[in-house]
């Protein structure tokens, strides 16, 4: 029998060989729905050599990340930590831990990511009910009360910042309403954390999740998750194990808590980056950070009006982190976005779902929420629109 070493080795042709040149990544101004450009300090932090995920220095870093996340979310929840994975993994973590087969889950759907919550909750055996709002609109407290009376859910899930529409769902009073109906409240803060005022404890939110690559200006792949006392109680009462082993908070609390029991190999370099991103947020201060995002967004909205463009969402409910811009009649939305990328090196997003082809999505998040970025975009957008007429 011939040795494995004597077998013919696959060859690489000339075209493949050229693809093995050192990595070259284009410099882009990322003004779409995410990722946003990472802060240079964060990029430098991720370039350090990895250390062990049980190294004493790494364990100290984990403590720091948890403390900083609690500050960013304005919560004292003990179970607050980053999930290894993108924001969708953290979304799944909230549902996996508190939804058992047969639990009634009510989801407020006002855009693409409400539909994703519905899909995930069904996969965990939830008896899922949905209430719907037009894309770009939000739910009133009265509408939510009526839905809780009708459906009597164990869990209500809402998107605070709907990335597909640019709408901000008001949360004041919703947590108290959920307590009145003995219902847990899950909130999606993927496009609001680090750029929009959030007060999880004051608003009585039971579970929340976010991502690293938007308002925090870190790289994608590690996503904040938090679970409050009422959710912990429901988790403890489960009759069945959490169906997702990787996201089971019962297991992860042993790694992120004082026991430090091995659970998985942590994304060490991403934790470096997240730690620095959260440190930069704390140095700036939440109030200053929120105000910067608001004033920068208002500058964009005024500039869009000067170009004859309108926003899709009413200003009262408009996100400062992500703006949906109505595409004028007769304009090819994809062509304009393509020209911005190829001619000006600027990325913006197109519409999703019900808004496909009808809007552009412009993100001004974290390190990109500054007046010079707005000026650059408006100048380029004006030129591209003019050249298409």
Phi/psi for 32 (5° steps) reads: -100, -160
Based on the fold, state whether residues 148 and 52 are members of the same structural domain.
yes
Asked if residue 18 is part of any domain, the answer here is no
Asked if residue 319 is part of any domain, the answer here is yes
Based on the fold, state whether residues 47 and 95 are members of the same structural domain.
yes
Based on the fold, state whether residues 328 and 245 are members of the same structural domain.
no
Rounded Cα gap, residues 368 and 365, in angstroms: 5
In terms of residues, how long is the chain?
389
Domain that holds residue 84: 40-282
Q: Where is the domain boundary, 282, 306, 330?
A: 282
Residues with Cβ within 8 Å of 111's Cβ and at least 6 positions away in sequence, in order, are 135, 136, 159, 162, 163, 164, 165, 167, 352, 353, 354
Phi/psi for 287 (5° steps) reads: -60, -45
Residue 320 is part of a domain; what is its CATH number?
Answer: 3.90.1150.10
Based on the fold, state whether residues 230 and 318 are members of the same structural domain.
no
Residue 149 confidence (pLDDT): 98
Based on the fold, state whether residues 127 and 194 are members of the same structural domain.
yes
The reported pTM is: 0.94
Mean pLDDT for each 10-residue chunk of the chain (389 residues)?
Answer: 53 62 92 96 97 96 98 98 97 98 98 97 98 98 98 98 98 98 98 98 98 97 98 97 97 94 95 98 98 98 98 98 97 97 97 96 98 98 89
Residue 242 confidence (pLDDT): 97
Based on the fold, state whether residues 99 and 232 are members of the same structural domain.
yes
Based on the fold, state whether residues 269 and 296 are members of the same structural domain.
no
Residue 278 confidence (pLDDT): 98
Asked if residue 165 is part of any domain, the answer here is yes
Residue 57 is part of a domain; what is its CATH number?
Answer: 3.40.640.10
Q: Between the CA of residue 88 and those of 80, 204, 264, 273, 281, what are the distances in Å?
A: 17, 23, 19, 19, 23
Asked if residue 225 is part of any domain, the answer here is yes
Residue 13 confidence (pLDDT): 64
Domain count, the chain: 2
Based on the fold, state whether residues 319 and 255 are members of the same structural domain.
no
Asked if residue 157 is part of any domain, the answer here is yes
Asked if residue 15 is part of any domain, the answer here is no
Residue 14 confidence (pLDDT): 58
Asked if residue 3 is part of any domain, the answer here is no
Based on the fold, state whether residues 166 and 298 are members of the same structural domain.
no
Based on the fold, state whether residues 229 and 377 are members of the same structural domain.
no
Q: Which residue has the tokens 């009597």?
A: 152
What's the Rg (C-alpha) of the chain?
22
User: Shortest CA distance to 222 belongs to which of 90, 96, 113, 48?
Assistant: 90
Query: Does residue 80 sit in helix, strand or coil?
Result: strand
Residue 21 confidence (pLDDT): 85
User: Shortest CA distance to 36 belongs to which of 300, 192, 212?
Assistant: 212
Cis amide prior to 203 (ω within 30 degrees): no
Residue 379 confidence (pLDDT): 98
């Amino acid at each position: 029998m011939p040795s494995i070493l004597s077998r013919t080795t696959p060859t690489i042709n000339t075209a493949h060989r050229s693809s093995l040149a050192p990595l070259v990544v284009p410099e882009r101004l990322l003004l779409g729905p995410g990722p946003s450009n990472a802060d240079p300090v964060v990029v430098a932090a991720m370039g350090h050599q990895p250390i062990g995920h049980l190294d004493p220095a790494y364990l100290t870093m984990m403590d720091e990340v948890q403390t900083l996340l609690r500050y960013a979310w304005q919560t004292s929840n003990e179970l607050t930590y980053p999930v290894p994975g993108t924001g969708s993994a953290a979304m799944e973590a909230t549902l996996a831990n508190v939804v058992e087969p047969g639990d009634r889950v009510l989801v407020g759907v006002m855009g693409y990511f409400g539909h994703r919550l519905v899909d995930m909750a069904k996969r965990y055996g939830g008896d899922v009910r949905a209430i719907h709002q037009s894309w770009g609109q939000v739910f009133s407290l009265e509408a939510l009360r009526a839905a809780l009376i009708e459906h009597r859910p164990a869990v209500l899930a809402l998107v605070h910042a709907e990335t597909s529409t640019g709408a901000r769902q008001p949360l004041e009073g919703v947590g108290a309403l959920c307590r009145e109906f003995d219902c847990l409240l899950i909130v999606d803060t993927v496009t609001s954390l680090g750029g929009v005022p959030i007060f999880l404890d004051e608003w009585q939110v039971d579970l929340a999740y976010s991502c690293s690559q938007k308002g925090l200006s870190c790289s994608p792949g590690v996503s904040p998750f938090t679970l409050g006392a009422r959710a912990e109680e429901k988790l403890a009462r489960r009759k069945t194990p959490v169906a997702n082993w990787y996201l089971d908070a019962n297991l992860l609390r042993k790694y992120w808590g004082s026991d430090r029991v091995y659970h998985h190999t942590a994304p060490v370099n991403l934790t470096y980056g997240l730690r620095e991103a959260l440190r930069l947020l704390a140095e700036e201060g939440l109030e200053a950070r929120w105000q910067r995002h608001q004033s920068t967004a208002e500058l964009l909205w005024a500039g869009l009006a000067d170009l004859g463009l309108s926003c899709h969402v009413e200003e009262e409910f408009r996100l400062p982190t992500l703006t949906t811009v109505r595409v004028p009649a007769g304009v090819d939305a994809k062509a304009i976005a393509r020209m911005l990328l190829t001619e000006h090196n600027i990325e913006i997003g197109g519409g999703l779902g019900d808004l496909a082809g009808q809007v552009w999505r412009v993100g001004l998040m974290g390190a990109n929420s500054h007046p010079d970025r707005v000026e650059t975009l408006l100048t380029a957008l004006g030129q591209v629109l003019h050249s298409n007429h």
